[in-house]
Amino acid sequence: MITLQKPPMGWNSWDCYGAAVNEEQVRENARYMAKNLKTYGWEYIVVDIQWYEPNAVSHEYNRNADLVMDEFGRLMPTANRFPSAAGGSGFRPLAEYIHSLGLKFGIHILRGIPRQAVRRNTVVKGTDCRAAEIVDFGDVCCWNGDMCGIDMSRRGAQAYYDSIFQLYAEWGVDYVKVDDIARPYHREEVEAIAGAIENSGREMVLSLSPGAAPIAEAEHLSKWANMWRMTDDFWDDWGLLKKMFDYCRDWFPYVGSGHFPDCDMLPLGCIRVCNKENGEKTRFTVEEQKLLLSLWAIFRSPLMFGGDMTRNDEFTLSLMQNRQILDINQNGSGGREVYRKGNEIVWAANGAEDTVYLAHFNVGDEELAAEFDPAFIGGRETFHIREIWSGEEQNGVSRIKSVIPPHGVKLYQIK
């Protein structure tokens, strides 16, 4: 794995293109990121699930799908959707293109070995073992029928994982999102995959999905993965966003250098493009989007944007280019919930030197008038404060008085 000092920032194809993403869409979003967002720290371009299935057309999974696979049971990009993969090139040409833009390339995989490989009983590369010898038919993904688990006690099991990550290293992959591994939690395969990355000789970010990952495994997760999902799939629904405060409260003690609990992707901008020709605008209101970004930032969640960036409006782009929000996320520390009182939730984090950040959230449906004594987190009598979203500044403040809109936030820089 790679040693991460900061939460990863990037784009993932799932929210907008589902299982149907194609190469031109990936390249278009990469060009947009390179032009508009690279200087702000956004760098990962991640191709999500089913890149090996020729007939994927939506967010739904095809039952008993035919998959593109090499002779060693390793999934390959389908050339009808990723033309540069033709002739066995795999993702190498696409990764090279993304690297040429100064960005990094990632892919999604499912834990285990393809059922198709087991049916064909393919050889495990570099061994005399075969797929049927390492498969665990009693441990199958319940929501996608493509894969079976691997019994890590079997001879050849680690060799299979080593073989696929050696392939990814040859392609130039920088980030791997491994699905069907965090819920339920598969300790042995987490360790096997981390070991396979190490054996590949290439540094890669290791991201685990789906959530909720078990908090009882927090220490193990922190040792063996860079990031892991705290929740099931997060979409543009206020109920899911409100619930995220509970997950963040439970997980903030485990945020640290090298490992970051993951609130999931940012379903902002234009999403669900594969289901509608022009996609759908996020259902989150403007205030909810500010609240979302404030929570992700102060908690230090990875920031993986889910919308089609090429269709960003001015407001969505302004969210992604907000340097102060990004600085809190990338360079803050000690993000923690301070208290809850009814619909009022207060978070704080440390910034550079003597700076403190305070997020005053209103998770209720009515406007909230609230007051906070910053000496509780800062230790001085008066302060200079700046509300980040509005830019309003005040000097000599002894108490912060906030009027917070429904589903909204006031985010303060305190010095």
Q: Answer whether residue 66 shows pLDDT above 80.
A: yes
Quote the pLDDT of residue 29: 98
Q: Looking at residues 339-358, what average pLDDT do you find?
A: 94
Question: How do residues 280-333 score in pLDDT, each as one tens digit?
Answer: 999 999 999 999 999 999 999 999 999 999 999 999 999 999 999 999 999 999
**What is the spatial distance between Cα 120 and Cα 130, in angstroms, rounded to a whole number?**
9
AA letter at 306: G
Spatial separation of the C-alpha atoms in residues 67 and 77, rounded to whole Å: 9
What pLDDT, in 10s, does the model give residues 37-54? 999 999 999 999 999 999
Packing angle, helices 286-299 and 323-331, rounded to 10: 30
pLDDT above 70 covers a percentage of the chain that reads 100
Is 84's pLDDT higher than 80? yes
What was the pLDDT predicted at 230? 98
Question: Is the pLDDT confidence value at 343 over 70?
Answer: yes
Q: Please give the pLDDT value at position 209.
A: 98
Mean pLDDT (the chain) is 96
The per-residue pLDDT for 379 is: 65
156-192 confidence digits (pLDDT tens) = 999 999 999 999 999 999 999 999 999 999 999 999 9
Closest by CA to 224, choosing from 202, 244, 199, 198, is 198
Average pLDDT over residues 69-76: 98
Decide which of 302 and 399 is more confident. 302
State residue 244's pLDDT score.
98
pLDDT confidence band for 278 (50 / 70 / 90) = confident
The reported pTM is 0.97
pLDDT digits (tens, 9 = 90+) for 119-161: 999 999 999 999 999 999 999 998 999 999 999 999 999 999 9
With bands split at pLDDT 50, 70 and 90, how would you rate the model's confidence at 395? very high
What digits encode the pLDDT tens for the residues 239-259? 999 999 999 999 999 998 889
- What is the pLDDT confidence band of residue 276, given thresholds at 50, 70 and 90? confident
pLDDT at site 380: 73
Report residue 381's pLDDT band, with 50, 70 and 90 as the boundaries: confident
For the cut 70, the answer to whether the pLDDT of residue 5 exceeds it is yes
Q: What average pLDDT score do residues 61-80 get?
A: 97
**Segment among 143-152, 227-236, 260-269, 276-285 with least mean pLDDT:** 276-285
Please state the rounded mean pLDDT for residues 388-409.
Answer: 94
Per-residue pLDDT band for 389 (boundaries 50, 70, 90) equals very high
- Give the residue with greater pLDDT, 233 vs 381: 233
pLDDT at 341: 95
Q: Is the pLDDT of residue 267 over 80?
A: yes
